[in-house]
Amino acid sequence: MRPAAVLVTGVSGFVGSALCARLVERGYRVRGATRSASTHGLLPPSVQPVVIGDIGPQTDWTFAVEGVDAVVHLAARVHMLRDTATDPFADYQRINVEGTRSLAVAALRAGVRRFIFLSSAKVHGERSVRPFQADDEPAPADAYAVSKLAAERALQQALAGSATQWTIVRPPLVYGPGVRANFLRLMSAVMRGVPLPLGAIENRRSLIYLGNLVDALLACIERTGAEGRTFLVSDGEDLSTPELVRRLAAALGRPARLLPIPVAVLRLAGFLTGKSAALDRLVDSLQVDSTAIRTALNWAPPYGVDQGLAETARWYSLSGGA
Active site residues: 144
What is the phi/psi pair of residue 72, to 5°?
Answer: -120, 110
Question: Taking phi first (over 0 means left), then psi (-120 to 50 degrees means alpha), and beta for anything else, what does residue 253 get?
Answer: left
Instruction: Decide if 137 contacts 125 (C-beta within 8 A).
Output: no
CA-wise closest residue to 63 among 49, 74, 75: 49
Structural element, H or E, at residue 182: helix 181-191
Instruction: Decide if 228 contacts 305 (C-beta within 8 A).
Output: no
**Would you tell me how many other CB atoms lie within 10 Å of the CB of residue 81?**
11
Specify which residues 239 forms β-bridges with: 205
Report the distance separating Cα 57 and Cα 26, nearest Å: 33
Structural element, H or E, at residue 29: strand 29-34
CA-wise closest residue to 172 among 219, 225, 212: 212
3-class state of residue 256 by DSSP: coil
